[in-house]
Amino acid sequence: MSVRLYRVYAGIASASPGRAGHPLTVSPVQGAGRIDNPGRYGVLYVADTQPAAVGERFGDLRVWSTSMLAGRPYLPGSRMMLAVLRLDGAVCDLDDPDELSRRGLRPSRVVTRDRETTQRWAREIHDEAAYAGVRWWSFWNPDWGSAGVWHPARLTVVGSEPLTLAHPAVTGAAMALDRPLRDER
């Protein structure tokens, strides 16, 4: 089974796999994310559509501007990029009511902000060794799917491109989340 996924990341075109700036590099700072369990696995957060990836990354900003696309100060020369990825492997879909029922999970326990709860169900799913990751609905827009992949070696980079305010993924996410776009140049 192959699944197409998307990720927004601070990228450097010349970054090699495993190095900061590469689309498949798992952040060494983990523990606060929805499905983080750093003692067991690293997780790469992705989305099932391009606008979802953008919305997940920038949703907490009230105004979207060119400065948000400049990259990160801790990674000189970076800029925000959109990676297209292919996952070879199954993902446990917690947006499926049958899956929730099988697991005895209520929808509110999937998207709760209580990380102890979400990290517990993630650890249980991970330990089944049947899935490369898990998917749930986005906090920002329930029509979007968010996912975490705990087997990044099963991901292949299909492509990667710089984000601009005019990129369809940015304009689509901005429209869905009612975020104004401001060009500061």
User: Is 28's pLDDT higher than 90?
Assistant: no
Predicted pLDDT of residue 73: 87
Cβ atoms of residues 67 and 154 within 8 Å: no
Q: Encoding tokens for residue 134?
A: 């898990």
Residue 184 has pLDDT above 90, yes or no: no
Kindly report the average pLDDT of the chain as a whole number.
95
- pTM equals 0.94
CA–CA separation, 80 and 94 (whole Å): 29
- In whole angstroms, what is the distance from residue 146 CA to residue 20 CA? 22
Instruction: Label residue 1 by pLDDT band (50, 70, 90).
Output: confident
Average pLDDT over residues 119-146: 96
